[in-house]
Structure 1
């Protein structure tokens, strides 16, 4: 892929317009705010605008996502003409000398519903009467009566993105004469000077659509893919509920670590697990039903879960509090443990992990969690195969091998399997893992590749997900079903256990406190 030209904006506030501004049929005239050179053909403009429509959260941390209310192709019934009776294109946004080709109504959902409300917005694509390609995209907020716009929306009644051709404003004929322009119709008394919030918002939007357009023209593909196993909307909706239920833990944090990171990270992991179990297991009769917690009726692992290296115990606490059966084990208790309710405390255990003599909490059909479990990480798929467990989730952090040595991606002392890092098969395998570093060249990436091969060798069908949690170590490997012959996978796991025993380098750590 060629290098994207540097983005350089030009203000239009001084009246130096590239082309005359857009105008509504009711005579309202847009005000041009900013422009930039467009280093891509016109046919890629619409794709970029639709990316912006479908993913407003890319450009604002205050927006969770958008849900589509409708999406009409207006070219099918010629609904984009000025005389159309179709009520869906906003009648407040019929552009002079333009024809609407597509009308989308989306609902913007805030990341913090307690502070900001949702907002419906029309997103309309136009082509000029003199051009066959779409060249304009307009956003029109549907402002509720007696209510203003939420904070995350700029103070405008219309905001337009425009692709234009011009033979002016260039001293180098060999350079592009194509431009992107942002134009607005501001609400009353909204400042538009270069220090205003509206100007800064327009600048960010202009750079974003320029980047999307250029990327579309140059076949850019995201290297990190989210929401492979659990749909984004399901996860986000449940996460907001769980975040509200457990945000109070931040105020009573007992550890020296960052409370926001640890609380909301484990809220995210708990959310993912609840939806993963719902999708994976069969219905199990709960002991009780709470109308405010519909997940009490959701499927879950029949024997519950074990959180290996549970640390501060938040993840175990959340899952148990929401009605899931499970245990957390760690080498030492944390200050947080004594502040949890009794129903959580009795499920937290000071216990050493010994693969040659498994803790009593590890039993067949259990679901194993390894959340940043350090030296326990490589043992998660192995023990899950030996038991066998009903499944596992592993979120690796620091690279450790089976001999508890910190290896920084060397690949571990036990190689499974011997793979050729330059082979086409290996490259395809690495790409399927879904993480962003260049084909597994970083030490952390190499460790994840090794863990993925290890999981597959132990007989698990490989699934990976980049979790939506506030951590740079958010790649997860999931085992939910067996791949191929189950006995051969268990045999590999047993051979690993035997090889580690013969080397005699692994020594179970001693619990730091009273076992319980």
Structure 2
């Protein structure tokens, strides 16, 4: 039976509360306790709990992008003199981190000391464990703190060991900073205390995060490039010509384009084949010299064409295909319009794509971004045309010629024990993997392996509930015989679809020659 989560019961500080722990004491500053709550985990887990606060401040503020460690001090003599001394405690470890804002044009970065303290006299096992974390912003004389940082010179997270263990937050507020229950500082400390309570409880029950980001593309380069790309293309929100939500679609496709640019640079760094470039030119943009797919990309079911437009605008060669032109297409520049095409694919008659299709050439990279009926065909087509890779972000659940039904669609054989294979897919949710969408993703992943692709998955940093992606960038075959087996598997799939006689290619809506 799952352990019951202890509720969070905050207690505002009161000078008349006889049960309240004494405030911290320092020679050069005066501490003001603000709020406390019962601790639901032992002091031995305090360091584990606060490590999340130190390394992931963005979890508690939407205004912070991430933190970067500048330096580390593990000896008391190396710790900065601006870090406060606390009576009865010794500073054991300190890092200097840099907080990076999510919007650099509005907020400045800030460096900060994060210092861990333990009891000076350690007579018991409890006292040996660190029990205080102090955050100290580093601000030049005459400068002010950025908005995302509370107005304090020090902020302490404290574990008080007693008959009823307590978590407490104490601060050294800047002059004229309100600390009442309605103040911004109090509300911030309330949120921080709840976060520490949650992290400590998670550490005690050995909580394992189910959704893991940045498995394929590292977080730091992604976030840095995304900020640049967002500034370059955010104007598209105000130029939106569809009835759909521009905020969701614009920033979602900026995120996908950012991921692809970094992924391609990693995949093709060793490829010296000349790539298909769009006519757009620019200077001072490092990605213009990055590696890219040898035969460009094809965005299958490109819809409004926004992802194709962003990639083409940044110098990447490729094409977007869809059954009909959207309103947006006519409003893109000519350099984009020439890369958008009305076309309906019939994969059942394209068994030799290398010779029969003008866009699906060897070395192409296929994109299936919420491609609906085309989703299961992405790995199949990638094998048929000797693609250099693909990215599939499934949304609606389709098989090759009908809606997906888990009772009728069993996964293809996988190379490892089934449970291990599923665990490696990073499906999220409650971990049961019994929902229809989870089962569909498992089926897609097994299909990818069946088509000869090493299965890799990523939970993308995009504003969509359908942000799980399947990436094919490495074939599983080791020799020509393995390659032939994968191609035979693909052709068997196509023969099976033909035999059922259900599949029908939808008719293009519009004249392909116009686009």
Shared fold per TM-score greater than 0.5: yes
- The equivalent residue for 1:442 is 435
Return closer, same or farther for 1:475/1:117 CA change in 2, 3 Å cut-off.
same
Q: State the alpha-carbon separation in 2 of the partners of residues 493 and 92 from structure 1.
A: 64
Q: State the alpha-carbon separation in 1 of the partners of residues 258 and 485 from structure 2.
A: 33
- The equivalent residue for 2:353 is none
- The equivalent residue for 1:483 is 476
Instruction: Check the 8 A contact 1:399/1:409 in 2, yes or no.
Output: no
Alignment pair present for 1:100 and 2:86: no
Q: State the alpha-carbon separation in 2 of the partners of residues 408 and 207 from structure 1.
A: 42
- The equivalent residue for 1:461 is 454
> Secondary structure of 1:299's partner?
coil
Q: CA deviation at 1:283?
A: 4.7
Q: CA deviation at 1:147?
A: 2.1
> Secondary structure of 2:474's partner?
strand
Return closer, same or farther for 1:213/1:355 CA change in 2, 3 Å cut-off.
same
> Secondary structure of 2:36's partner?
strand
Structure 2 counterparts to residues 114-513 of structure 1, below 5 A = 114-130=105-121, 131-167=127-163, 177-281=164-268, 282-283=271-272, 290-358=282-350, 359-403=357-401, 405-407=402-404, 409-410=406-407, 412=409, 415-417=410-412, 425-437=417-429, 438-484=431-477, 485-513=482-510
Post-superposition CA distance 1:33-55 (Å, at most 9, x none): 11111121111101111110100
Q: CA deviation at 1:407?
A: 2.9
Q: State the alpha-carbon separation in 2 of the partners of residues 375 and 156 from structure 1.
A: 55
Q: CA deviation at 1:290?
A: 4.4
Aligned residues: 490
Instruction: Check the 8 A contact 2:413/2:450 in 1, yes or no.
Output: no
- The two structures have a TM-score, normalised by structure 2, of 0.92
Q: State the alpha-carbon separation in 2 of the partners of residues 408 and 343 from structure 1.
A: 42
Q: State the alpha-carbon separation in 1 of the partners of residues 46 and 367 from structure 2.
A: 45
Post-superposition CA distance 1:87-142 (Å, at most 9, x none): x4343412222111111111001111111111001100001113321010000011
> Secondary structure of 1:220's partner?
coil
> Secondary structure of 2:220's partner?
helix
Q: Which runs of 4+ in 1 moved over 3 A?
A: 283-291, 408-412
Structure 2: runs of 5+ lacking an equivalent: 122-126, 351-356
- The two structures have a TM-score, normalised by structure 1, of 0.92
Q: CA deviation at 1:291?
A: 4.2
- The equivalent residue for 2:124 is none
Q: CA deviation at 1:357?
A: 3.8
Instruction: Check the 8 A contact 2:411/2:442 in 1, yes or no.
Output: no
Structure 1: runs of 5+ lacking an equivalent: 75-79, 168-176
Q: CA deviation at 1:197?
A: 1.0
CA RMSD of aligned residues (A): 1.8
> Secondary structure of 2:118's partner?
strand
Post-superposition CA distance 1:464-494 (Å, at most 9, x none): 0000000000000011111132221111111
Instruction: Check the 8 A contact 2:274/2:294 in 1, yes or no.
Output: no
Instruction: Check the 8 A contact 2:83/2:113 in 1, yes or no.
Output: no
Q: State the alpha-carbon separation in 2 of the partners of residues 90 and 209 from structure 1.
A: 27
Instruction: Check the 8 A contact 1:408/1:444 in 2, yes or no.
Output: no
Structure 2 counterparts to residues 34-45 of structure 1, below 5 A = 34-45=35-46
Instruction: Check the 8 A contact 1:110/1:118 in 2, yes or no.
Output: yes
Q: State the alpha-carbon separation in 1 of the partners of residues 445 and 37 from structure 2.
A: 45
Return closer, same or farther for 1:319/1:410 CA change in 2, 3 Å cut-off.
farther
Return closer, same or farther for 1:137/1:449 CA change in 2, 3 Å cut-off.
same
Q: State the alpha-carbon separation in 2 of the partners of residues 470 and 382 from structure 1.
A: 28
- The equivalent residue for 1:514 is 511
- The equivalent residue for 1:77 is none
Return closer, same or farther for 1:259/1:13 CA change in 2, 3 Å cut-off.
farther
